[in-house]
């Protein structure tokens, strides 16, 4: 299994997960918050064509995650998976797009990948995050969530890699020029994860197989790569796991987990 990001942050998100078995290959995209042309250009940088994508999986209806999903899926005839609540809240044209509904606790497969959706606390209609496996490796995806829950921690157990939201540093957010109401929303129980809470989640999950940790969805104004990295490093139990930081402009290049 390998995974990469087209970009991560409030201006647009898209994560790619791919696995190969014998002569077949499965590649999915988790969210697509970029326009068609931008998505195609970013895919090209990773040497991937749109027609190589077997499905798009959506976490929730906020524009930086769903903004480009249906237009891109329609153009390239890619099926889409999302919760019914996200579908209702999306307010976008779904014509000529094959829609599949998923929900918490009900695993489903897209060719060679198995996805395990789980609910999270966020200010969206029916938000889901995903654990994704190919029978050899398991990737946990956790962005856009306001607080830790036992369900989240359990859902991310025994992952080989984690993409974990580190949206803001609490002190930077408190001192920022954002309106008070926006600060409350970001730092609230249904907003976004601070570095500290992300570290608490990382400490709580089963790290026995963990090889890679990606700090993701960083705020340009209220966080820094150094602070996010330090928070993740402080929460790791093993020196063998590698830490990276995703960025808005370039995401991150392919990370290969290899075989278990």
**Average model confidence (pLDDT) for the chain?**
96
Mean pLDDT over residues 85-111, rounded? 94
Q: Which class does domain 2-250 fall in? A: alpha beta
Cβ atoms of residues 254 and 47 within 8 Å: no
- For the ranges 225-229, 238-242, 250-254, which has the lowest average pLDDT? 238-242
Q: Which residues contact 45 (CB under 8 A, 6 or more apart)?
A: 250
Q: Which residue has better confidence, 187 or 21?
A: 187
Distance CA 15, CA 19 (A): 14
In the chain, where the domains are located:
2-250
Distance CA 11, CA 200 (A): 26
Mean pLDDT over residues 161-180, rounded? 98
Residue 260 confidence (pLDDT): 44
Please choose, from the candidates 145, 141, 134, the residue with its C-alpha nearest in 3D space to the C-alpha of residue 117: 141
Q: What is each CA distance from 124 to 87, 115, 135, in whole angstroms?
A: 11, 21, 31
Distance CA 146, CA 5 (A): 22
Distance CA 193, CA 162 (A): 15
Mean pLDDT over residues 51-62, rounded? 98
């Amino acid at each position: 299994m390998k995974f990469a990001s087209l970009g991560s942050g409030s201006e647009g998100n898209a994560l790619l997960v791919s696995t190969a078995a014998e002569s077949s290959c499965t590649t999915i995209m988790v969210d697509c918050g970029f326009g068609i042309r931008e998505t195609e250009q970013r895919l090209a940088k990773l040497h991937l064509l749109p027609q190589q994508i077997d499905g798009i999986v959506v976490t929730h209806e906020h524009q930086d995650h769903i903004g480009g999903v249906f237009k891109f899926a329609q153009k390239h005839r890619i099926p889409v998976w999302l919760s019914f609540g996200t579908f209702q809240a999306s307010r976008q044209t779904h014509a000529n797009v094959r829609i599949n509904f998923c929900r918490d606790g009900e695993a489903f497969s897209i060719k060679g990948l198995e996805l395990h959706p789980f609910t999270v606390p966020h200010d969206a209609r029916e938000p889901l995050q995903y654990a994704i496996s190919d029978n050899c490796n398991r990737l946990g995806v956790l962005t856009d969530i306001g607080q830790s829950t036992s369900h989240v921690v359990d859902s991310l157990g025994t992952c080989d890699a984690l993409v974990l939201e580190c949206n803001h540093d609490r002190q930077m957010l408190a001192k920022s020029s954002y309106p008070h109401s926006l600060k409350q929303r970001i730092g609230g129980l249904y907003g976004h994860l601070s570095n500290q809470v992300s570290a608490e989640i990382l400490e709580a999950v089963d790290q026995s197989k963990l090889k890679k940790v990606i700090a993701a969805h960083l705020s340009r104004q209220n966080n820094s790569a150094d602070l996010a990295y330090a928070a993740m490093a402080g929460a790791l139990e093993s020196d063998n796991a590698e830490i990276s930081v995703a960025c808005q402009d370039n995401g991150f290049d392919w990370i290969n987990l290899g075989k278990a």
